[in-house]
Amino acid sequence: MTSPSLTIDTPADTVRATAGLRQADVVLGGAMRGSVHVTGTHRPHRWDQFTAVRACLGPVDAVQATAPDDALPRLARSRTGYRGSPTLHNDDDTHRPQVTVYPMESAAGHEPSGKTAATLPAVLRACAAHVAQREDLPATLQLSRQRDTPALQRFLTWSAAHHQAQAEQAQAS
């Protein structure tokens, strides 16, 4: 984060986000407890363009691993932890910031209440937007590209072969 802390006004009250010991982690205080993991990533529909920032509830990149239930962030007076992650990127046509959100849910798989459903994305968006303004963002995106490209290539190779086989099957029928 560019400064040591960020103050986020939410429906649940003020949340303070402070850079954690690991560069990608943000520690939450105030109206929320726990942590957020922020990392560079590819754009949702442009897998070759690592120009987006993803924030995940919990101490790990939700695409790479699943945080243990007891490590998930929660509202200050709640025992329910939540998972979910938005990805921030600029739209190709309008060049305006866009957000793609993977569903927010409790560790038990339930949808959050109205206040929690408004608070979680607000915190994640603020943390991701703050990291997107960092001077070292290009280095973060490059590290993400190096880390994620091999897995993306394996998936795309599998997907192309799978869909080719389905198309050949359909033509033979």
Q: List, for residues 2-58, the tens digit of each pLDDT value.
A: 456 889 999 999 999 887 656 667 889 999 999 888 888 887 777 788 888 888 888
Residue 94 pLDDT > 70, yes or no? no
- For the segment 94-109, the average pLDDT, to the nearest whole number, is 77
Nearest to 47 by CA among 154, 139, 130: 154
**Which pLDDT score is estimated for 1?**
42
**Which pLDDT score is estimated for 81?**
92
Nearest to 20 by CA among 1, 39, 42: 1
**Which pLDDT score is estimated for 147?**
85
What is the SS3 string spanning the chain?
CCCCEEEEEECCEEEEEEECCCCCEEEEEECEEEEEEEEEECECCECCCCCEEEEEECCCCCCCCCCCHHHCCEECCCCCCEEEEEEEEECCCCCCEEEEEEEEEECCCCCCCHHHHHHHHHHHHHHHHHHHCCCCHHHHHHHHHHHHHHHHHHHHHHHHHHHHHHHHHHHHC
**Which pLDDT score is estimated for 5?**
82
| pTM over the 0.85 mark | no
Report the share of the chain in percent with pLDDT over 90: 24
- For the segment 64-70, the average pLDDT, to the nearest whole number, is 79
What rounded mean pLDDT belongs to the chain? 84
For residue range 144-159, list pLDDT tens digits in order: 889 888 888 888 899 9
**Which pLDDT score is estimated for 158?**
92
For residue range 75-93, list pLDDT tens digits in order: 998 999 998 887 777 766 6
- For the segment 96-101, the average pLDDT, to the nearest whole number, is 71
Place of tokens 């957020």: 36
Residue 129 pLDDT > 80, yes or no? yes
Q: Which residues pair with 100 in a beta bridge?
A: 87
